Structure 1
Amino acid sequence: MSKKILEISDLHISFHTFAGEIKAIRGIDFDLYEGETLAIVGESGSGKSVTTKSIMRLLPTNNSEIKSGKIMFKDKDIVQASEKEMQKIRGKDISMIFQDPMTSLNPTMTIGKQIMEPLIKHQKMHKSEAKKRALKLLDLVGIPKPDIRIKQYPHQFSGGMRQRVVIAIALACAPKVLIADEPTTALDVTIQGQILDLMKELQKQIETSIIFITHDLGVVANVADRVAVMYGGKIVEVGTVDEIFYNPQHPYTWGLISSMPSLDEKNNELYVIPGTPPDLLNPPKGDAFAPRNPYAMKIDLEKEPPMYKVSDTHYAATWLLHPNAPKVEPPKIFKQECVNLQRG
């Protein structure tokens, strides 16, 4: 296994609202290794974006609070870092690609200036040197005629091209960690594929580690080395991409895979996980997924399950892995989806 580049342990994050304290992240642990892509998946509201924004320390300061836990990067705890220290890390060591490229780019600045900015600030490059590097980066991310495009503004680019520019800015300083928060959601399927291929290619060239946030399991199968499944502010299963897709252990993961759209004509209906995510103003006592879990036992409503080891790389938090638990078969629809994945 490669060297750890990022280590998150027992992280708890809350938001203080008029309604009360929302316990958005409730004790998560995960590591990121050099050169790997870790995908974090789960429904909206599961805590994916909050987790990654906390790594960048980009959570709103007026109502969010990191209650406890550590985010270790280069032997430094980011949780304890000052804003001045974070300004040196953001963009240089850890970069982020956001969901909507139009809100990530400054409409009043040329594309060239926006790519040159981190190079001048973090790498102390002269303007002429930064411009040469910006031209190279535009070429690297597949933007034609970079010498013309560098003088243009965001509104003169298509959605896919804007996302390529955002990737160029994020990779300008060759960061050690790249966080991609649903980077292809706003794009059509063809452009989505191109952007994912581009990210895989650039990862090899720049040797960066990627945390990829998505709710689209089809994307995960194409880009990830490992997958962490989030539910109710917790990681409920983590493993290699093959372990999660072909041998998942948590009923929530079964539900996510079962709800993937299928090209199989026999299945006209799309599977939907019943119920709704938990209210994190009043987090449940036991397993947060229990009310939606058709295999829930009495203990699920009373006690939170520990992380059980399935293999050296695969862990899942479900009482179904307890030695005394009844043997449960995944639903038929899940098995059919696995067959479809193997065909694909």
Structure 2
Amino acid sequence: MTTLLEVKDLSVSFDVFGGEVQAIRNVNLDVKKGEAVAIVGESGSGKSVTAQTVMRLIAMPPGRIKNGQILFEGQDLLKLSEKDMQKIRGNKIGMIFQDPMTSLNPTMTVGKQISEGLIKHQGLSKSEAKERAIEMLKLVGIPTPEARYKQYPHEFSGGMRQRVMIAIALACNPALLIADEPTTALDVTIQAQILRLMKKLQEQLDTSIILITHDLGIVADVCDRVMVMYAGQIVESGTKEEIFANPSHPYTKGLLNSLPKLSQRKDEPLIPIHGTPPDLIAPPPGCGFCDRCPYAMNICATTPPEVTDLGGSHKVRCWLQDPRAQSDKKTEVGV
């Protein structure tokens, strides 16, 4: 498949009163055309900063892109002017934000909010944009779209507002859709509906998707590949089959162990990941997960782990999976 987006050695920092927050540290990822990729990790791991950097939405200052490339359709987005980026945002790359209530303009009807991108990027007339906006409302499953077109965001439920956000993001048929925790504020029933809708629209429109979430459990039916992020780095990546069947980083194992299982007894507690993420103003010299890892070795505290290729597309940044550690046989790692 053709590579649509490629992020190379991306590092992003924020200059704050206390020092330099190294939010993203040498991140590498790629998305193929028509592919759905999940970026998972706990809050503060760098998922949203990565997405906002791709969209060039990081405020500078305090943000600062230290190094790297963001190649979209072969073009480095970091070298484009703001005027050129405005031609890409909402047109070739769409984004669904976490909270639809704060992302939608409360003073404008939802129809007008869908139409404005069509008028700006597609050059449609107001009547043509209205017709297309009503089609999009119908496509995302909103009943009586002609009436809903004239309503304001406060007249919609949380799930309906999220569907409006999806309609806005997909109105111009973007090649890439970035969904930043699109189901966080919704109940589990609506979560499932939104995820099914995204998968259906991806197949219909052949749109690539980056799904950002902290929950590994919701990506199994939607995504083709998974990238696990921790402390500003991609610590494990692979197909969903590789990640779920053979999690190889202790953090990935911890995320999976913290999920409830159908076979779990009522009195059986969930297994949490103990400790807290590292301070990215002064990140540890070795592995960022070292202080929370029950299998940490001496080298983990002093030397950044190298990326180990486990075969297929499965890669992990962990000393435990290094061939030298495997041959030593001194440490046993299990889920």
What are the ranges of 5 or more consecutive residues in structure 1 without an aligned counterpart? 335-344
Aligned partner of residue 279 in structure 2, secondary structure = coil
2:80 is the counterpart of 1:91 = no
**Which residue identity does 2:288 align to in structure 1?**
A
How much does 1:62 deviate?
A: 2.4
**Which residue identity does 2:142 align to in structure 1?**
I
**Which residue identity does 2:218 align to in structure 1?**
V
**Which residue identity does 2:19 align to in structure 1?**
G
Deviations 1:58-92 (A, max 9, x none): 11222000000000012211111111111000000
Tell me the TM-score normalized by structure 1. Answer: 0.94
Quote the Cα distance in structure 2 between the aligned partners of 1:44 and 1:267: 28
Quote the Cα distance in structure 2 between the aligned partners of 1:289 and 1:244: 18
Residue 23 of structure 2: aligned partner: 24
Residue 270 of structure 2: aligned partner: 270
Quote the Cα distance in structure 2 between the aligned partners of 1:149 and 1:100: 20
Quote the Cα distance in structure 2 between the aligned partners of 1:191 and 1:116: 25
Deviations 1:254-290 (A, max 9, x none): 1111111234116621111111101000011111111
How much does 1:234 deviate?
A: 0.4
Residue 68 of structure 2: aligned partner: 69
**Which residue identity does 1:220 align to in structure 2?**
V
**Which residue identity does 1:254 align to in structure 2?**
K
Quote the Cα distance in structure 1 between the aligned partners of 2:261 and 2:124: 50
Residue 314 of structure 1: aligned partner: 314
Residue 283 of structure 1: aligned partner: 283
Deviations 1:202-253 (A, max 9, x none): 0011111000000011111121100000011000000000111111111111
Residue 2 of structure 2: aligned partner: 3
Aligned partner of residue 8 in structure 1, secondary structure = strand
Deviations 1:116-152 (A, max 9, x none): 0000000000111111111111110001111111011
Residue 296 of structure 2: aligned partner: 296
Quote the Cα distance in structure 2 between the aligned partners of 1:221 and 1:202: 17
Aligned partner of residue 132 in structure 2, secondary structure = helix
Aligned residues with identical type, % of pairs: 60
Quote the Cα distance in structure 2 between the aligned partners of 1:33 and 1:267: 43
2:229 is the counterpart of 1:195 = no
What value does the CA root-mean-square deviation take over the aligned residues? 1.1
How much does 1:329 deviate?
A: 4.4
Counting matched residue pairs gives 331
Residue 125 of structure 2: aligned partner: 126
Aligned partner of residue 57 in structure 2, secondary structure = coil
* Structure-to-structure mapping, 1:109-120, within 5 angstroms: 109-120=108-119
* Structure-to-structure mapping, 1:1-344, within 5 angstroms: 2-263=1-262, 264-265=264-265, 268-325=268-325, 326-327=328-329, 328-331=331-334, 334=335
**Which residue identity does 1:74 align to in structure 2?**
E
Distance 1:180 1:297, change over 3 A: same
Quote the Cα distance in structure 2 between the aligned partners of 1:172 and 1:98: 15
Contact 2:295 2:333 in 1 (8 A): no
Deviations 1:32-70 (A, max 9, x none): 001111000011111000000000011122200000000
How much does 1:317 deviate?
A: 0.7
Structure 1 segments, 4+ long, off by >2 Å, are 326-331
Aligned partner of residue 221 in structure 2, secondary structure = helix
Contact 2:3 2:73 in 1 (8 A): no
Aligned partner of residue 166 in structure 1, secondary structure = helix
Distance 1:110 1:266, change over 3 A: closer
Quote the Cα distance in structure 1 between the aligned partners of 2:110 and 2:324: 60
How much does 1:302 deviate?
A: 1.3
**Which residue identity does 1:185 align to in structure 2?**
T
Contact 2:227 2:237 in 1 (8 A): yes
Contact 2:12 2:22 in 1 (8 A): yes
Quote the Cα distance in structure 2 between the aligned partners of 1:224 and 1:135: 28
Quote the Cα distance in structure 1 between the aligned partners of 2:45 and 2:192: 25
Quote the Cα distance in structure 2 between the aligned partners of 1:3 and 1:271: 40
Quote the Cα distance in structure 1 between the aligned partners of 2:7 and 2:302: 27
Quote the Cα distance in structure 1 between the aligned partners of 2:324 and 2:49: 36
Quote the Cα distance in structure 1 between the aligned partners of 2:80 and 2:271: 44
Aligned partner of residue 160 in structure 1, secondary structure = helix
Quote the Cα distance in structure 2 between the aligned partners of 1:330 and 1:190: 36
Quote the Cα distance in structure 2 between the aligned partners of 1:3 and 1:83: 27
Quote the Cα distance in structure 1 between the aligned partners of 2:285 and 2:90: 40
Contact 1:254 1:330 in 2 (8 A): no
